[in-house]
Amino acid sequence: MADKFTPGKWWTTESGVRDKGGYICFTPQAQRYPDQDERFVQEKAERAANKLLLAAAPELLATARAVMEWWETAQYLTAGEFGDYNLFDSDPEFVTAARTAIRKSTGEPS
């Protein structure tokens, strides 16, 4: 499936995540209510962390794809080099997680 998202570089602003063409995602400000200071501080921190994660999404996807490309190449190049023991007899959890994340981020079926 071809990528349909706005290519990176993305960065955070006070009101969301954007690229050179405009906003990728608007994130509303946390609302402060009387006697809810702890909730406000937590919500504000969570919003900041979410913006950072969103801004890093293109690079995270590219990295996951690079890891998978390396994995597939290494698997092909080292097949049989370890006698009866093959490092690539089964995929480790990080490979399964990377494949799942790539499919999720590109809208491919699971």
Model confidence pLDDT, tens digit, residues 27-37: 888 889 999 99
Mean pLDDT of 9-28: 92
pLDDT bin (cut points 50, 70, 90) of residue 85 is very low
Residue whose entry in the numeric block shows the structure tokens 């093959």: 86
pLDDT value at residue 69: 87
Residue 87 confidence (pLDDT) above 80? no
Between 70 and 48, the more confident residue is 48
- Percent of the chain whose pLDDT exceeds 70: 84
CA distance 5 to 19: 12
Pairing of strands 11-13, 22-26: unpaired
Q: Residue 32 CB: number of other CB atoms within 10 A?
A: 12
Closest CA to 51 of 88, 13, 89: 13
Provide the sign of the torsion angle of the four alpha carbons 13, 15, 17, 19, taken in this order: negative
